[in-house]
Structure 1
Amino acid sequence: MPIVTIQQFPRDLEQKRELAARITAAFVDVYDADPASVQVFFNEVDGEDWAKGGVMGCDVQP
């Protein structure tokens, strides 16, 4: 049973649906996995909950 965990900034539900479908298709194609066995977990992280190079994500200027 493949399990994929994705950590990312919050995304639109439609984007997550598309990504989950593509990841599942990849496991089916490469591992010949049963699509029902592929699990995808999305962990969405707010900018106040991560830092890079000592700078909080919410403080990064785009």
Structure 2
Amino acid sequence: MPIVTIQQFPRDLTQKRELAQRITQAFVEVYGTPEESVQVFFSEVDGENWAKAGKMGCDRQQGQG
């Protein structure tokens, strides 16, 4: 049973639906796994819960990835 965990910034539900569908299809095509056995977990992190280069995400300016 494949389990895929994705850590990301919050995204639109429509985007997450499509990504989950594509990931599932990849497992079906490459591994021959039944769709029903593929699980995808989304862990979304906002700017108050991550830091880069010593600066909290919420303190960084837009475009400073």
**TM-score, normalised to structure 2's length?**
0.93
Structure 1 unmatched ranges of 5 or more = none
Q: State the partner residue of 1:27.
A: 27
* Identity across the alignment (%): 76
**TM-score, normalised to structure 1's length?**
0.97
Structure 2 unmatched ranges of 5 or more = none
Once residues 41 and 60 of structure 2 are traced to their aligned partners in structure 1, the CA distance between those partners, rounded to angstroms, is 26
**Stretches (4+) displaced over 2 A:** none
Q: CA offsets per residue over residues 21-58 of structure 1, 9 Å max, x none? A: 00000000110000000000000001000001111011
Count, aligned residues: 62
Task: Give me the CA root mean square deviation.
Answer: 0.5
